[in-house]
């Protein structure tokens, strides 16, 4: 089976596959099934798909009820609404009772570049990560997304999955076994360690190649599971280098960088720089690339951060 | 003896009335002296809880995980003491837990917690979420072709939560006639009477506009409540809400219709008086009988 480069299409296909595998899988939408591509599930299993209308809070607590009665609900909306708008419903209806609800935060980060700050989610990882029992997944590409979806069915407790709106280059390998919580080394290197998630994984690989040209060898770690973060692995992968960078399409407050620093505390480690979005909201732009560049979410920015740390 | 109005046996009704008083007694003992507890909104639900748990609901205390059981969700989760009382009376919760409400390590939390307390179906208490959870349960039960019903108790103050109306729309849209909503219209919310704090007028009209059947009853009349529950179960194609007119703190003279006992503290004197009144109501052959 070929996996589409667009994560939304890959998500829709994977959801249909899960639906075939397990009759407990149901899907709920808030009038965005075309954007999230859960419409594929609706077409395949109309009786197990519920269009809840533009009413996200009700959708989340309804999913809790479905889970309490034995279903495995997958919820869909834009990441900004699927996390922030329904925070209290996720917290009380879903996370406190630790229900098997899966939340697809689609159009995550800045990936809905045209719609601007109201529709972009640069705080969702921080919000979701703070919720006890919630797991937070951020795939680097469609292959990793598909691998995560394979694992997600068996996982106990709620899962928040960030899905990018745009095509992402393949950076992960289709044949490696995946488990939730895994930090995947993509490249070896002795001078620096670059931890990255989501769209920033390919930027991190580009940065490593740019650093190579300058005689600096950097290892690249794909952190697909931001929570639960494998702290032991994080410490191991961070060991022995002279510079550590975390790169994410998210606020530097509370995301991957924060999770990494939490994991590294107590262990000796090199200086750390965080590449992410400062304490601010997104904005509209004519292209995704332009927006990522505007916020300094680039291979160049990662490269420069590594070099600065090494010079320091 | 048959009740003239509806053919129910009066001794059966009297028994449920006694049960309601007994539930109130459990509530008072749970709150105890000098500690805050949600007395008012628990006591306003006593007859409704008695009618549901001891007559209307398909609920086997010996098999509380039965997938075909009827579910009761207390969306107004702060009134959970009355649900604890019923579950104690049914033997689901050990009597020994009664005096340990809200204590560290106790089974009975300040708000409903399904992980801590047997017989509690969900986590509720963040107001406005209970009906949505009920919608999800009803959808799942329908997918699985189970005939179980879902009862959701809401407060009249709680109706200010927009999520409840989202859920109302969804329940009607999906034709979830196995859901029965119950609004405990006691007309007092945390900071005072609803007419002063945030009155929601024309409650029945609002539910009807959202596609629900409505029934209005005296929430302290066992026959009226039982009739309404019967009628709700007989209505098909749309969910039904029973708007129950109740008195906050009902059954305890000094607490009735008093905002102070939304989450008040009982003195020793009040505690003793409340127990005396509730025990008298259980003992008297006809007194305490709802009109």
Tens digit of pLDDT for each residue in A166-212?
Answer: 999 999 887 778 899 999 999 999 999 999 999 999 999 999 999 99
Whether B114 sits inside 8 A of A97 (CB atoms) is: yes
Whether A71 sits inside 8 A of B138 (CB atoms) is: no
Whether B166 sits inside 8 A of A55 (CB atoms) is: yes
Q: Which strand ranges, in their side-by-side order, compose the sheet holding B213-218?
A: B71-74, B150-155, B179-185, B240-245, B213-218
Q: What is the mean pLDDT of residues B130-137?
A: 98
| Residues of A in Cβ contact (< 8 Å) with B137 | 65-66, 68-69
Tens digit of pLDDT for each residue in A212-264?
Answer: 999 999 999 999 999 999 999 999 999 999 999 999 999 999 999 999 999 99
Supply the pLDDT for residue B1.
46
Tens digit of pLDDT for each residue in B238-282?
Answer: 999 999 999 999 999 999 999 999 999 999 999 999 999 999 999
> What is the DSSP code (8-state) at residue A23?
T
Q: Within chain A, where are the H helices?
A: 7-21, 33-36, 39-44, 56-68, 79-80, 87-89, 124-129, 142-152, 200-213, 231-238, 256-264, 288-294, 299-311
Q: Classify B245 as helix, strand or coil.
A: strand
Tens digit of pLDDT for each residue in B47-69?
Answer: 999 999 999 999 999 999 999 99
Whether A58 sits inside 8 A of B135 (CB atoms) is: yes
Q: Can you count the helices (H) and strands (E) in chain A?
A: 13, 12
CB atoms within 10 A of CB B60: 13
Instruction: Answer for the pair A128, A83: CB distance below 8 angstroms, yes or no.
Output: yes
Supply the pLDDT for residue B7.
62
**Where in A82-240 does DSSP place strands (E)?**
102-106, 135-137, 159-163, 183-187, 192-196, 218-223, 225-227
| Residues of A in Cβ contact (< 8 Å) with B78 | none
**A–B CB contacts, 8 A cutoff, strictly below:** 111
What pairing do the DSSP bridges indicate for beta strands A218-223 and A192-196? parallel
Q: What is the mean pLDDT of residues B226-231?
A: 98
| Residues of A in Cβ contact (< 8 Å) with B136 | 61-69, 73
| Residues of B in Cβ contact (< 8 Å) with A65 | 122, 132-140
Told to judge if A56 belongs to the known catalytic residues of this protein, a careful annotator would answer: yes
What span, in angstroms and rounded, lies between the C-alpha atoms of A106 and A95? 20
Phi and psi torsions of B274, nearest 5°? -60, -45
Q: If pLDDT is split at 50, 70 and 90, which confidence band does A26 have?
A: very high
Q: Is the pLDDT of residue B5 over 70?
A: no
- Per the structure block, which two tokens stand in for B175? 């034709």
Tens digit of pLDDT for each residue in B87-123?
Answer: 999 999 999 999 999 999 999 999 999 999 999 999 9
Phi and psi torsions of B177, nearest 5°? -75, -5
Residue of A56, A123, A144, A249 marked catalytic? A56
Return the bridge partners of A104, or none.
A76, A161
Instruction: Answer for the pair A13, A35: CB distance below 8 angstroms, yes or no.
Output: no
Instruction: Give the nearest partner residue to A64 out of B133, B169, B174, using CB atoms.
Output: B133
Q: Which residues of A touch B (CB under 8 A)?
A: 26, 47-48, 50, 52-53, 55, 57-71, 73, 88-89, 91-93, 96-98
State the average pLDDT for chain A: 97
State the average pLDDT for chain B: 95
Whether B136 sits inside 8 A of A62 (CB atoms) is: yes
């Amino acid at each position: 089976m070929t996996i589409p480069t667009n994560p939304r299409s890959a998500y829709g296909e994977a959801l249909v596959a899960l639906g075939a595998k397990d009759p407990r899988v149901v899907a709920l939408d808030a009038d965005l099934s075309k954007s999230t591509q859960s419409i594929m599930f609706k077409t395949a299993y109309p009786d197990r798909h519920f269009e809840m209308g533009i009413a996200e809070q009700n959708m989340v607590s309804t999913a809790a009820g479905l889970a309490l009665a034995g279903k495995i609900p997958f919820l869909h909306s834009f990441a900004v609404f699927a996390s922030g708008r329904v925070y209290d419903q996720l917290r009380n209806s879903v996370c406190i009772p630790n229900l098997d609800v899966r939340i697809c935060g689609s159009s995550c980060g800045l990936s809905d570049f045209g719609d601007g700050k109201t529709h972009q989610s640069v705080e969702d990882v921080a919000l979701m990560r703070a919720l006890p029992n919630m797991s937070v997944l951020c795939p680097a590409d469609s292959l990793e997304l598909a691998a995560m979806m394979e694992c997600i069915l068996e996982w106990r407790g709620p899962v928040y999955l960030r899905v990018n709106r745009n095509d992402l280059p393949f950076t992960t390998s289709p044949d490696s076994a995946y488990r939730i919580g895994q930090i995947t080394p993509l490249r070896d290197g002795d001078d620096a360690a670059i931890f990255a998630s989501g769209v920033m994984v390919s930027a991190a690989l580009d940065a490593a190649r740019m650093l190579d040209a300058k005689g600096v060898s950097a290892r690249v770690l794909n952190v697909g599971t931001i929570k639960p973060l494998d702290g032991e692995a994080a410490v191991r992968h961070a060991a022995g280098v002279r510079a550590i960078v975390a790169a994410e399409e998210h606020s530097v407050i509370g995301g991957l960088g924060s999770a990494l620093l939490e994991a590294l505390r107590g262990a000796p480690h090199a200086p750390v720089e965080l590449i992410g979005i400062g304490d601010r909201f997104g904005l509209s732009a004519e292209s995704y690339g332009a927006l990522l560049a505007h916020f300094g979410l680039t291979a160049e920015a990662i490269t420069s951060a590594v070099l600065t740390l090494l010079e320091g | 003896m048959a009740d003239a109005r509806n053919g129910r046996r009066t001794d059966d009704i009297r028994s449920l009335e006694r049960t309601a008083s007994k539930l109130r007694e459990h509530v008072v003992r749970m709150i105890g002296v000098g500690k805050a507890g949600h007395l008012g909104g628990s006591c306003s639900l006593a007859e409704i809880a008695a009618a549901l748990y001891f007559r209307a609901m398909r609920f086997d205390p010996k098999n509380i995980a039965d997938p075909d059981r009827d579910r009761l969700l207390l969306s107004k989760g702060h009134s959970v003491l009355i649900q604890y009382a019923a579950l104690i009376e049914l033997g689901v919760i050990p009597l020994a837990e009664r005096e340990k409400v809200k204590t560290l390590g106790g089974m009975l939390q300040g708000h409903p917690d399904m992980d801590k307390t047997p017989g509690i179906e969900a986590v509720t208490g963040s107001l406005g979420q209970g009906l949505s959870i009920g919608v999800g349960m009803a959808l799942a039960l329908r997918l699985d072709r189970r005939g179980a019903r879902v009862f959701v108790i809401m407060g009249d103050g709680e109706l200010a939560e927009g999520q409840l109306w989202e859920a109302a729309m969804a329940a009607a849209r999906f034709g979830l006639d196995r859901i029965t909503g119950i609004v405990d219209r006691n007309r007092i919310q945390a900071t005072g009477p609803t007419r002063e704090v945030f009155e929601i007028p024309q409650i029945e009209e609002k539910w009807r506009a959202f596609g629900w059947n409505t029934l209005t009853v005296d929430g302290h009349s066992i026959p009226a409540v039982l009739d309404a529950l019967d009628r709700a179960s007989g209505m098909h194609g749309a969910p039904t809400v029973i708007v129950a007119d109740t008195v906050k703190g009902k059954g305890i003279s000094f607490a009735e219709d008093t905002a102070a006992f939304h989450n008040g503290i009982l003195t020793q004197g009040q505690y003793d008086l409340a127990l005396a009144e509730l025990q008298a109501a259980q003992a008297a052959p006809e007194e305490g009988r709802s009109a």
